Amino acid sequence: MSAFTWTAAVSLAAWLWLLLCQGFFWRTDVRLPPWREPAGWPDVCVVVPARDEAAVLPLSLPSLLAQDYPGRAEVFLVDDGSTDGTGDLARELAARHGGLPLTVTSPGEPPPGWTGKLWAVRHGIGLAHARGPEYLLLTDADIAHEPDSLRLLVAAARTGGFDVVSQMARLRVASRWERLVVPAFVYFFAQLYPFRRIGRKGSRTAAAAGGCVLLRTETAEKARIPDAIRHAVIDDVALARAVKGAEGHIWLGLADRVDSVRPYPRLHDLWRMVSRSAYAQLRHSPLLLLGTVAGLAVVYLVPPAAVLAGVVTAGTPTLLLGAAAWLVMTGTYTPMLRYYRQPLWLAPLLPFTAFLYLLMTVDSAVQHYRGRGAAWKGRTYARPDAVTDEG
C-alpha cells in the first residue's frame, strides 16, 4: 500500500471514531430538555450588551420586550460605546412596542484587562442585582426570541436543576455563502463540544452559546462571573468553564425558537467573523495551529483527494477508502443541513467548506503576528490567553 493509501485509511479510521465515539456530535436532536411549569415563576433580568447594533435591533429587541413570561422580568440594554444611535433606538422601540420594562444604560469604555462586551455585561448584571432576580438571561443584540422563549428556558432550568441553560441560536442562512458556511460553523462547534457531553454531570466538556444563556444568579456569584472571565473574547466557552469549575450543571443544545438576525451576506463577512477569533481559540499556539491544519487536511481534504487519486491512477484501495471516508463525512453532516432546512446536495461539499475554514484559521494567525489580534467593532484584543466569541 502506498503512503497516500495509508493516509486515506487513517482518514477513514478518524471518521469512524468521530461517528461513534465523539458524543454523537452529528445528531441534532439535543433540543430544550423536558420541563414542567414551576409552582411559582422566579424573577428574571435580561442583560443585552449592544455595540453599534442599530441595524439589527428593530428585528430583535421587540421580541424580547414581547416575552410572555408569567413572573417578573425586566430588560437591561447596555449600550457599549455605540456610534450609530443604538441606545436612542432601543428607547424608541420600547416606547413604540411596549412590553417588558426596559432600562438603557452605558458603562463607558472598559478598563484595562476587560473586553468591551464583558464590561457591558458586568454593568448590566450590577444593575440587575438591585432587583434580586433568581436568573439572568444573557442574550446578544442580534438574537430574536419567540414569545415563549424565556418561559421555556426558566421552566427547563427549574425542572432539570440546571445552573445554565444555553441554546445555540439558529443562525441566518439566506445568501449562498451563508448556506455553504453557516451550517458547517455549528457542525464544527458541536464536533469540538459535543452537546451530550456538556449536559452530563461529571463531564469536563464545557461550552455555551453566547447569544442565549440563562444563568442562575447564585451560580454567577459563586463562579465570579463576569469578573473571572473579564479578559475572554470567546466569552461563552469561558463562562461555561467557570460555571463547571464552580460545580455548576450546564445544558447546551440547538434552538427551535431563538434565531440570530445578523446577516453575513458575503464571504468576506463570514471570513472576518471566523478569522478574527480562530487563532485565539488555539491559544495563539503555533503548535496547535500546525496540528489543526494537519488534522483538517487529513480528516476533511484527504477523502476527496483519495477518490480523485484513485480514479486517475486506477488505485482501487485508495479510491474505496477515500469514498468510504467521504461517505461517512457526508452522512454526519446531513442532519445539520436538515436542521437548517438546506438542500442535502450541499453535504458532499463539506471538504470545500472545511478548506475555507482552514484558510480562515491560517489568516487569523497571520493577522495576529501582524499585531492586529482579535478584532470586533473597532476594538482589538491581543492578549495571548484571550479566547473569542461572535458578539
* Tens of pLDDT, residues 137-189: 999 999 999 999 999 999 999 999 999 999 999 999 999 999 999 999 999 99
Q: How many CB atoms sit inside 10 A of residue 70's CB?
A: 13
Q: How would you write the pLDDT of the chain (391 residues) with one tens digit per residue? A: 688 899 999 999 999 999 999 999 999 999 999 999 999 999 999 999 999 999 999 999 999 999 999 999 999 999 999 999 999 999 999 999 999 999 999 998 899 989 889 999 999 999 999 999 999 999 999 999 999 999 999 999 999 999 999 999 999 999 999 999 999 999 999 999 999 999 998 899 999 998 999 999 999 999 999 999 998 878 999 999 999 999 999 999 999 999 999 999 999 999 999 998 888 889 889 999 999 999 999 999 999 999 999 999 878 999 999 999 999 999 999 999 999 999 999 999 999 999 999 999 999 999 888 876 555 566 665 544 443 344 3
Would you say 134 and 216 are in contact if contact means Cβ atoms under 8 Å apart?
Answer: yes
How distant, in Å, are the alpha carbons of 51, 162, 228, 365, 374 from that of 378?
10, 36, 24, 19, 10
State the DSSP string of 282-297: TTT-HHHHHHHHHHHI
DSSP state for residue 81 in the 8-state scheme: S
The backbone region for 314, taken as left when phi is positive above 0, alpha when psi lies in -120 to 50, beta otherwise, is left
pTM comes to 0.93
> DSSP 3-state assignment of 148?
coil
- In three-state secondary structure terms, 251 is strand
Q: What is the pLDDT of residues 26-82, one digit of tens each?
A: 999 999 999 999 999 999 999 999 999 999 999 999 999 999 999 999 999 999 999
Q: Where are the beta strands (DSSP E) in 270-378?
A: 374-376
